[in-house]
Amino acid sequence: MGLVKTNVTPSAPASSFRQLLQSELARRCAANPQYSLRAFAMHLEIDHSTLSQMIRGKRALTAAAIERLGGKLGLSSDAIAAWIAREKTALSAGAGGPREREVMELTRDAVSLVTDWWHYAILELTRLESFRADSRWVARVLGIEVDDVNRALSALLHVGLMEMRADRWIDTSGDTAASFGDFARATLERLSEQVRKLSLSADESVPPPLRDRTSTTVAVATASVPEAIEMIARFRREILGRLERDATRDAVYHLEIDFFPLTRRTEKE
């Protein structure tokens, strides 16, 4: 397949390098109906699943990656430096960078509608190679009613976390491993209760090599708690990054991390 001539300028109307990649791919696809993510990846000399993760915000865009990809896109060294600086600014401006902020915005919009565990499970299911855009199949796999799948589908389409394209359901959430920080209390309680039941059920039905549940109580110095929370965030990103690297996936898991004080603070504190 012939490669489309690059025409990316520093003034492209993207607010992040990820969006620049998205819009450039979209532009090429519009110019050539045969063009695909794979062709774009080939042009950029990068693995197509890696590129897909970058475009979906599932993989961080390091300075080295921006430099390499920017070069392939024909950007000038000044433009590349500007994009690197912009990404660094974005990262330092908020928790976890653009990807995390995007997720937070989505969770704020979705908070009143996306309230059951299977909403998230359906989004993740769409990433399995064996996924079938069939509510009856989804219901069977998740062990829920077809009506529950379809209610979830309506909610996900409404809040823009999913799109239906004939025989494909597309997860447009970017990431559903969101912090629950923006969830309304009632929603969080409902989700936690559902997850607790699923976890107990997995204890009985899933053999130990395929599940893990640990719980630890520990005395801490409160001053170290923010650092511990940062470590948890890193751990979450690391483990999700590792699991999402697999090109072929055949199951959906739930990872839940709780870290909270058992002791109460006194008035003096």
Partner 1 sequence: MGRPVVQWQILSKEPDRHARFYTDLFDWKVNADNPLGYRMVDTGSKKGIPGGIWPAPPEGHSFVQLFVEVEDVGKAVEKATGLGATVIIPPQKLPEGDEMAILLDPLGVSFGLTKTGTGR
Residues in the site for partner 1, rule: CB under 8 A?
A: 112-113, 133-136, 139, 146-151, 153-155, 157-158, 160, 163-167
| CA 116 from centroid of its chain's CA atoms | 18
Q: How far is the CB of 187 from partner 1 (least distance, A)?
A: 12
Considering beta carbons, is residue 9 or 112 the nearer one to partner 1?
112
Distance separating alpha carbons of residues 87 and 59, to the nearest angstrom: 13
Cα torsion for 119, 107, 27, 87, to the nearest 10°? Answer: -130
Burial class from Cβ neighbours inside 10 Å (0-12, 13-18, 19+) for residue 27 reads middle
Q: How far is the CB of 22 from partner 1 (least distance, A)?
A: 18
Q: How far is the CB of 170 from partner 1 (least distance, A)?
A: 10
Considering beta carbons, is residue 16 or 135 the nearer one to partner 1?
135
CA-based Rg of the chain, rounded to a whole angstrom?
A: 21
Considering beta carbons, is residue 128 or 157 the nearer one to partner 1?
157
Q: What is the CB neighbour count within 10 angstroms for residue 178? A: 19
Q: How far is the CB of 152 from partner 1 (least distance, A)?
A: 10
The answer to whether 178 and 188 have CB atoms below 8 angstroms apart is no
Q: How far is the CB of 135 from partner 1 (least distance, A)?
A: 5
